[in-house]
Amino acid sequence: MAKLIISLAQMNIALGDERKNALVMERWAVEAARRGSHLLVLPELWSTGYALDQSRELAAVLNTGMFTQMGTVAQQNKIALVGSILEKRGQEVSNSAPFFAPNGRMLGIYRKLHLFRLMDEDKWLQPGQSPLAMDLPWGNTALAICYDLRFPELFRRYAVEGARLIVIPAEWPLERVEHWRALLRARAIENQCYIVACNAAGQTGETVFGGHSMIIDPWGKTVVEGGEAPLLLTAEIEMDVVDEVRRRIPVFDDRRDDVY
């Protein structure tokens, strides 16, 4: 699949209100499918926001609750779907991003590796233990979540292992939105791959999130970028651009992995 149509659901998340957020997700999934999208990306913790003091009550076990709802929406709209939610694992809770195929099957789940102390994630959540990359019809696709963006080692590992597209659900605050924009572009340029990043927008609880969801191509060019208001962004990308850029500037052939 050389051409890929992607929609980014830049939501204003209602804190702790799963029903309200799910209705928005379902409505935008229908619209993304109407636009011909192959993939719909939701923000980080899209169903609850950072209601971490309620995390045990709001979290779902795999194959139940919001996991089931995401799979059903993917299947009903024949669209791949990814975004992070609270996952209950025994006594632990994780910030987890399941990836659903258009048939509703979960192809993998990524659990956020780097917990963000400024939002008290380290007090309420358990960090993930492994990266996730999947071979999909449009090419190798990897996942990261929000704060992971500040750790280029993870993205370089993905690229070296063949990632052509990296998806990042996020709740990145407006006050640091220029960090978000700069780091997304850097990750795309240095790893010569597409970066697909969906942020929340507007106020959730006490925090205003920055929007500016975007897709960056392997040259570092912005394919599409939202503003600071909630909206559904849609764009088409050409996966062949990855090969073109990697041929033109052979970064991976010139790496000194004997030294670093």
CB atoms under 10 Å from CB of 105, counted, come to 11
What's the pTM? Answer: 0.97
Which residue in this structure is represented by tokens 């006490």? 206
131 with 104: CB under 8 angstroms?
no
Helix (H, G, I), strand (E, B) or coil at 257: coil
Tens digits of per-residue pLDDT, 173-219?
999 999 999 999 999 999 999 999 999 999 999 999 999 999 999 99
Q: 50-76, pLDDT tens digit by residue?
A: 999 999 999 999 999 999 999 999 999
Q: What is the pLDDT of residues 123-175, one digit of tens each?
A: 999 999 999 999 999 999 999 999 999 999 999 999 999 999 999 999 999 99
Find all residues with CB under 8 Å of 83, minimum gap 6, and list them. 9, 25, 41, 42, 43, 44, 46, 70, 97, 169, 198
**CA–CA distance, 142 with 162 (Å, rounded to integer):** 9
Phi, psi dihedral angles at 133 (to 5 degrees): -130, 145
Summarize the confidence of residues 2-28 as an average pLDDT: 98
Mean pLDDT for the chain? 97
- Residues with catalytic function: 44, 112, 146
State how far the Cα of 168 lies from the Cα of 6, in Å rounded to an integer.
Answer: 13
Q: What is the maximum alpha-carbon separation in the chain?
A: 52
Q: Which helix (H) or strand (E) holds 65?
A: helix 65-77
Tell whether the model's pLDDT for residue 1 goes beyond 90.
no
Given this model, what pLDDT does residue 190 score?
A: 98
Mean pLDDT of 226-245: 98
Identity of the residue numbered 151:
F
Q: Which domains does the chain possess? A: 3-254 (3.60.110.10)
> Model confidence over 29-57: pLDDT tens digits?
999 999 999 999 999 999 999 999 999 99
